[in-house]
Chain A
């Protein structure tokens, strides 16, 4: 009499079981990889209404970050400059440039320039620029070499785990306060040992408890 299954059925069964297991594992891994900020955030380079080049201004012309981002040392937000700030120079420099038309228009009409946000934190996170600068964390730690970017691009995931890395061992990212806006700055000795010194000297103790960032 005929049995229900042949040996091929067994082979099929094994294949199916193996496939299911692989699929489950794979899906989980893939999802967690795809939706990690390293994928979703880093590399975001929106097109700005004005083709403003940080490379030109901060890099080649060597303007200090704080010329435009005035409140970075005193406030939580590193203010995006008002059109006036641009016009301080551009009333004379390149006053006819086509690229600057939106700036001139904004200056004339008083309508703000709709810059597109690049670095963004969830709004239950209360990041304070002044606190970080005061501690000696350079712009470069979070924004990368903006002075080499023609278009500003997100270079760090800015997720909690990433923040904690630095909050747990600040020494690696601390530098003397006067150099925080010198993106290219390299210490003359071992940066880690320098950092340790500064951390000890200014007793820098970044919070790792919740209310340090969430209020």
Chain B
């Protein structure tokens, strides 16, 4: 992340989603803007508290779906009616009726690829190494830990102050997360 700074941020662990949420709101009130929360399952209201907008994935997927449909229709029309027209069972070379199933399937297929691909891309995954992985606190995130992180990028950031503030908001443990030199 931000190159020279050896500190990634200050983190505090809470023991319930509720306390985490409360802390997040409080810190937002303090004017912290660069925060992130880490939870075992999605916690209601965090996005708002952390000032995150709604995911734009929907539009991507819709576009991909349209593309799939178009591709399917094009494929069936071109191969059947243009490239090698063959009379089959007295049916037309191309007809919408018998094109529906495959059109639908390809629509879904491409849309699904877009949904998953888009999600990974938006999250910058796969990313195996990350500063938080070197922090003890985070070990519990995928179990039952609820962690709030104030990133060092935050203009108001001050490691010591942040730790105290987090503790005061009920963090059971706090810690400064180091950037690790590659």
Q: Do chains A and B touch in the complex (CB under 8 A)?
A: yes
Interface residues of A, Cβ cutoff 8 Å to B: 1-10, 13, 164, 208-209
Which residue in A9, A10, A209 is a CB contact (below 8 Å) of B86? A209
Q: In this assembly, does B52 line the interface, its C-beta being within 8 Å of a C-beta of chain A?
A: no
Q: Give the interface size bracket for B toward A.
A: 10 to 19
User: Does the CB pair B126–A5 fall under 8 Å?
Assistant: no
Q: In this assembly, does B127 line the interface, its C-beta being within 8 Å of a C-beta of chain A?
A: yes
User: Does the CB pair A3–B182 fall under 8 Å?
Assistant: no
**Complex: chain A residue closest to B131, CB-CB:** A3
Interface residues of B, Cβ cutoff 8 Å to A: 84, 86, 126-130, 133-136, 139, 180, 182
**Complex: chain B residue closest to A5, CB-CB:** B128
In the complex, which residues of chain B have a beta carbon less than 8 angstroms from the beta carbon of A10?
126-129
**Complex: chain A residue closest to B139, CB-CB:** A1
User: Does the CB pair A9–B129 fall under 8 Å?
Assistant: yes
**CB of A145, distance to nearest CB on chain B (Å):** 31
**CB of A42, distance to nearest CB on chain B (Å):** 23
**Complex: chain B residue closest to A14, CB-CB:** B126
User: Does the CB pair A4–B133 fall under 8 Å?
Assistant: yes
User: Does the CB pair B180–A3 fall under 8 Å?
Assistant: yes
User: Does the CB pair B127–A3 fall under 8 Å?
Assistant: no
In the complex, which residues of chain B have a beta carbon less than 8 angstroms from the beta carbon of A6?
129, 180, 182
**What are the 4 tightest A-B residue pairs by CB atom distance, in nearest-first order?**
A3-B133, A5-B128, A7-B182, A5-B129
**CB of B8, distance to nearest CB on chain A (Å):** 12
Return 8 A-B CB contacts under 8 Å, by A number. Answer: A1-B139, A3-B130, A3-B134, A3-B180, A5-B128, A5-B129, A9-B128, A10-B126
In the complex, which residues of chain B have a beta carbon less than 8 angstroms from the beta carbon of A209?
86
In the complex, which residues of chain B have a beta carbon less than 8 angstroms from the beta carbon of A9?
128-129
In the complex, which residues of chain B have a beta carbon less than 8 angstroms from the beta carbon of A13?
126, 128
In the complex, which residues of chain B have a beta carbon less than 8 angstroms from the beta carbon of A1?
134-136, 139
